Amino acid sequence: MPSAPLLSRRQLLQAASLLGLSTAALGVRPTWAAPAGLANVYPQGVEDGPQVSLAVRREARQIADKTAYPITLNGTSPGPLIRLREGQDASLKITNLLDEKTSVHWHGIILPSNMDGVPGLSYAGIAPGEVFTARFPVNQNGTYWYHSHSGLQEQLGHAGPMLIEPAEPEPFHYDREHVLLLTDWTFEDPRDVFRHLKVAEGYYNRQERTLVDFFDDVAKHGLAETWKQRSMWQQMRMSSRDIADVTGSTYTYLVNGHTAQDNWTALFRPGEKLRLRVINGSAMSYFDVRIPGVKMTVVAADGQPVQPVPVDEFRIAVAETYDVVVEPEADRAYTIFAEAMDRSGYVRATLAPRLGMVAPIPERRRIADRGMEAMAAHGGGMDHASMSTGSSDHSSMSEVDHSSMAGMDHSSMAGMDHGAHGTAHAPMAEMNHTPADQTTSAAHGSGLLAAGVAQPGSRYDQAGIGIDPAERRVLVYGDLKARTPWPDRRPPGRELELHLTGNMERYMWSFDGKKFSEVDGPIHFAHGERLRLIFVNTTMMEHPIHLHGMWMELENGAGELIPRKHTLNVKPGERVSALVTADAPGHWAFHCHLLYHMDAGMFRVVKVA
In the chain, pLDDT over 90 holds for what percent of residues?
Answer: 70
- pLDDT for 53 equals 98
Record the pTM. 0.82
Q: Does a cis peptide bond (omega within 30 degrees of 0) precede residue 270?
A: no
Fold exhibited by the domain 170-205+242-363: Immunoglobulin-like (2.60.40)
**Res. 238: pLDDT tops 90:** no
With H, G, I as helix, E, B as strand and everything else as coil, classify residue 164.
strand
CATH 3.40.50.300 fits 46-169, yes or no: no
Higher-pLDDT residue of 76 and 30 is 76
Question: In what helix (H) or strand (E) does residue 336 lie, and over which residues does it extend?
Answer: strand 334-340
Confidence band of 368 (pLDDT split at 50, 70, 90): confident
DSSP state of 474: B
CATH 2.60.40.420 fits 474-608, yes or no: yes
Which is it for strands 523-525 and 603-608: parallel, antiparallel or unpaired?
parallel
**Res. 8: pLDDT tops 50:** no
- pLDDT for 250 equals 97
Residue 297, classified by CB atoms within 10 Å of its CB into exposed (0-12), middle (13-18) or buried (19+), is: middle
CA distance 165 to 545: 26
**Res. 370: pLDDT tops 70:** no
**What integer is the mean pLDDT of 370-397?**
40
- Tens digit of each residue's pLDDT (9 = 90 or more) over 321-332: 999 999 999 999
CA distance 163 to 159: 13
Higher-pLDDT residue of 552 and 208 is 552
Higher-pLDDT residue of 145 and 13 is 145
**Res. 302: pLDDT tops 60:** yes
- pLDDT for 552 equals 98
E strands within 21-130? Answer: 46-48, 51-58, 61-63, 66-68, 71-73, 81-85, 89-96, 105-107
Q: What angle do CA 585, 498, 557 make, to 5 degrees?
A: 90
Confidence band of 367 (pLDDT split at 50, 70, 90): confident
CA distance 394 to 87: 49
Q: Rounded to the nearest 10 degrees, how much is the dihedral formed by the CA atoms of 324, 329, 330, 333?
A: 10
- φ, ψ at 336 (rounded to 5°): -90, 110
- pLDDT for 314 equals 98
- Assign 3-class secondary structure to 369-430: CCCHHHHHCCCCCCCHHHCCCCCCCCCCCCCCCHHHHHHCCCHHHHCCCCCCCCCCCHHHHC
- Tens digit of each residue's pLDDT (9 = 90 or more) over 186-234: 999 999 999 999 997 778 986 655 555 555 665 676 777 656 666 665 5
In the chain, pLDDT over 70 holds for what percent of residues?
Answer: 75
- pLDDT for 19 equals 35
**Closest by Cα among 499, 206, 182, 155 to 315:** 182
- Tens digit of each residue's pLDDT (9 = 90 or more) over 424-446: 333 332 233 344 544 554 433 45
- Tens digit of each residue's pLDDT (9 = 90 or more) over 261-286: 999 999 999 999 999 999 999 999 99
CA distance 169 to 164: 13
The CA distances from residue 462 to 408, 483, 537, 570, in Å, are: 39, 22, 15, 11
Are the CB atoms for 268 and 352 separated by under 8 Å? yes
- pLDDT for 227 equals 60
Q: What angle do CA 396, 155, 183 make, to 5 degrees?
A: 135
Q: Find which of 174-183, 204-213, 371-380 is predicted with most confidence, using mean pLDDT.
A: 174-183
**Res. 545: pLDDT tops 60:** yes
- Tens digit of each residue's pLDDT (9 = 90 or more) over 468-526: 989 999 999 999 999 999 999 999 999 999 999 998 788 999 999 999 999 999 999 99
Higher-pLDDT residue of 563 and 423 is 563
Location of each CATH 2.60.40.420 domain in the chain:
46-169, 170-205+242-363, 474-608
**Res. 236: pLDDT tops 80:** no
Higher-pLDDT residue of 448 and 413 is 448
**What integer is the mean pLDDT of 56-79?**
95
- pLDDT for 412 equals 33
The CA distances from residue 121 to 91, 92, 293, 298, 324, in Å, are: 20, 19, 47, 35, 35
**Res. 369: pLDDT tops 90:** no
- Average pLDDT of the chain is 82
Higher-pLDDT residue of 73 and 412 is 73
